[in-house]
Each structure stands twice: as structure tokens, then as C-alpha cells.
């Protein structure tokens, strides 16, 4: 199969398009012919060696996918060859910048019928992360006020829509050219972080969802009401709160069919629409990494593989 891989950690130029062995479905696994895979921050952070420890080469990056089941391993009874499915690789596996992948059958779900493969790939890991963060971790409730940092990014774009669906009042930050995009996703209030101070403008919040990290994450504690909760996904651990009356949380984003099915249901009900998507050929993965790495993209970058 064709795949994009790297033989050493380094800049985007280490990404190479070449031939790799076709995967074989082990017991409990399926082989998926991948139609689309999205580019996530973890891909370039892993490639550059700034996140995780990739030490086995060649390494094929890529965490989420949408495609067609093309082979079944022993014991797989609830999937059929030809099923359109989407999903996210288990942490540490990776390998979706490729024409095929073998994964456990219990971490894939039927692709939402209304979405193309490109759209389904765009909401797999972002949707999973937003669901685990807002529903399972922050336990966001109707009527609560939430500040979502980095609203124009992939995870936050899903989170804005999910928070609105849950009945929350949503405030979100972005640069000026992305504010209309945030409003279109459903944000009630938007803040241009380049010209405005979110700590002065945000009303007291029940919850914060931070996708930016660094100083933005640390300053986010200021907007919380006493008893407020904040979830952080940029680093592996949540920052230490500078006050004792709030809680800092790091969502544990696992992989399972139930969350993917919930994503599909949210799409089918019209609660969630796909983000703005920029498509790239698999051979152009390095360009997509350069854009993602600059951390000012709107929506999602997706590699179209078939």
C-alpha cells in the first residue's frame, strides 16, 4: 500500500510517500481501506519529537480515519466487508496516513450516512475529544456558562456546537478574522484575543475548555466562578490552579464505539455539522503539517486518500 511515513524525528520534510506492507487483520480486527484521514496536532507534535516518544521507525502518523471495511479477522461478527466506518486509532498505534489500516473492530462505528468520508474523518478525534471533555469530564449542564478557548480549531469547533446542544451559554475566543466562523458554529459571545482581554470581558463562568495551552490556559482560571471547573487538552497534564476554589481537569480521551456512535447520532440529529475543511492529497501531508504546526488554521485539514 501507499503510505506517508518518517524514518526519524524532524521537520515536515521527513514525511515520505512510499510503499509499505499491507496490514493483515489479527483476531478481533478489521482491515479498513482508508478514504480520508485528518491531520491532528498530535501528528506533527509526534513527528517533531515534542509530544510522546516515537522510537520505532518507519512510523506512519495519523490517528483518525474514515473508510470501508475490506477484511475481517477471526471473531469479528458485527462488521461486514463493505461497511462504511469511521474511528480513531488507539493511543500509541497511529498509522492512518495510509491506504489501509488494521484496527480492533470494537473501536470503529458506522460512518454517519449524511457525511462524506472527508467530513467523517474531520470529526472523529476532534469529536471524541470534545465529547469526553464537555460531557464526561466537565459534566457541562444546561444553563451553565462556558468559555471555550481557541474556538476556530478542530476540537473547539465541535465543542462550541456540543455546548450549545447541551444548553450552555457559550463564549469563545479567536482572532478577528475567525469571529464570524465562531458565531456560525453557535457561539453566543466571541472575543478577539488579539485586541481584547478575555479575563476582563468574560462573565463569571461555570466552566472553561482550553485547547490553546500556555499562558492562555493559566489566565483562564481568572474567569471561573467559585466551584468552577476547567478542562485542558494542550498538555498531558492540567496546569496547577492558582486558586483553591476551582478544579483543573485533564480529560482522559479513550477509544470506544459508544462515543463514536454518539458523534454519529449528534450529526444525524443536526446538532453537529462538520467544520470548515481544507483537503490535501496524501502526497501533500508535509504542507498540511506546516499549516497545522502554525496553529492558526480554521477548522480541519484532511488528507484525501482515495
Ligand X SMILES: NC(=O)c1ccc[n+]([C@@H]2O[C@H](COP(=O)([O-])OP(=O)(O)OC[C@H]3O[C@@H](n4cnc5c(N)ncnc54)[C@H](OP(=O)(O)O)[C@@H]3O)[C@@H](O)[C@H]2O)c1
127 lies in the binding site for ligand X (CB under 6 A): no
- Interface pick for ligand X out of 155, 185, 231, 248 (rule CB under 6 A): 155
Long-range contacts of 285-288 (CB under 8 A, 24+ apart): 285/4, 285/15, 285/17, 285/39, 285/97, 286/12, 286/13, 286/15, 287/12, 288/39
Residue from 149, 161, 202, 220 touching ligand X (CB under 6 A): that is: 149
Is the Cβ–Cβ distance between 73 and 28 less than 8 Å?
Answer: yes
Min. distance of Cβ 157 from ligand X in angstroms?
A: 7
243 contacts ligand X (rule: CB under 6 A):
no
To ligand X, the closest distance from the beta carbon of 232 in angstroms equals 9
Number of chain positions touching ligand X (CB under 6 A): 29
Applying the rule CB under 6 A, the residues between 41 and 60 that interact with ligand X are: 41-42
Which long-range contacts (C-beta less than 8 Å, at least 24 apart) are formed by 165-170? Answer: 165/266, 165/271, 165/272, 166/134, 166/135, 166/140, 166/141, 166/142, 167/141, 167/142, 167/143, 168/140, 168/141, 168/142, 168/143, 168/144, 168/207, 169/143, 169/144, 169/145, 170/146
What x-and-dash track marks residues 282-301 binding ligand X by CB under 6 A? ----------x--xxxx---
CB of 131 to ligand X, least distance (A): 11
As measured in angstroms, the least distance from the Cβ of 199 to ligand X is 12
Q: Is 182 in the site for ligand X (CB under 6 A)?
A: no
23, 95, 112, 150: residue in contact with ligand X (rule CB under 6 A): 150
Using CB positions, name the residue nearest to ligand X: 153
> Which three three-digit cell numbers place residue 84?
462504511
CA distance 66 to 28: 19
Q: Which residues bind ligand X (CB under 6 A)?
A: 40-42, 125, 129, 149-150, 152-156, 173-175, 178, 193, 211-213, 216, 233-234, 253, 292, 295-298
Amino acid at each position: 500500500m501507499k503510505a506517508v511515513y518518517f524514518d526519524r524525528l524532524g521537520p515536515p520534510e521527513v514525511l515520505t510517500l512510499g510503499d509499505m506492507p499491507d496490514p493483515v487483520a489479527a483476531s478481533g480486527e478489521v482491515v479498513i481501506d482508508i478514504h480520508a484521514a485528518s491531520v491532528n496536532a498530535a501528528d506533527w507534535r509526534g513527528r517533531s519529537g515534542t509530544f510522546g516518544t516515537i522510537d520505532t521507525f518507519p512510523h506512519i502518523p495519523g490517528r483518525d480515519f474514515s473508510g470501508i471495511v475490506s477484511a475481517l479477522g477471526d471473531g469479528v461478527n458485527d462488521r461486514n466487508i463493505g461497511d462504511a466506518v469511521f474511528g480513531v486509532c488507539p493511543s500509541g498505534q497511529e498509522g492512518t496516513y495510509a491506504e489501509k489500516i488494521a484496527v480492533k473492530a470494537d473501536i470503529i462505528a458506522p460512518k454517519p450516512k449524511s457525511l462524506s468520508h472527508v467530513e467523517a474523518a474531520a470529526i472523529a478525534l476532534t469529536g471524541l475529544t470534545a465529547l469526553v471533555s464537555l460531557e464526561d469530564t466537565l459534566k457541562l449542564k444546561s444553563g451553565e456558562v462556558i468559555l471555550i478557548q481557541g474556538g476556530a480549531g478542530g476540537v473547539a469547533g465541535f465543542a462550541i456546537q456540543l455546548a450549545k446542544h447541551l444548553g450552555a451559554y457559550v463564549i469563545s475566543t479567536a482572532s478577528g478574522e475567525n469571529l464570524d466562523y465562531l458565531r456560525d458554529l453557535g457561539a453566543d459571545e466571541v472575543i478577539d484575543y488579539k485586541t481584547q482581554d478575555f479575563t476582563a470581558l468574560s462573565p463569571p463562568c461555570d466552566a472553561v475548555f482550553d485547547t490553546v495551552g500556555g499562558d492562555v490556559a493559566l489566565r483562564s482560571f481568572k474567569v471561573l466562578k467559585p466551584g468552577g471547573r476547567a478542562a485542558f487538552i494542550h498538555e498531558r497534564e492540567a496546569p496547577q490552579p492558582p486558586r483553591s476554589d476551582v478544579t483543573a481537569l485533564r480529560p482522559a480521551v479513550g477509544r470506544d464505539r459508544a462515543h463514536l456512535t454518539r458523534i454519529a447520532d449528534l450529526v444525524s440529529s443536526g446538532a453537529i455539522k462538520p467544520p470548515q475543511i481544507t483537503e490535501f492529497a496524501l502526497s501533500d501531508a508535509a504542507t498540511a503539517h506546516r499549516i497545522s504546526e502554525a496553529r492558526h488554521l480554521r477548522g480541519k485539514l484532511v488528507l484525501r486518500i482515495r
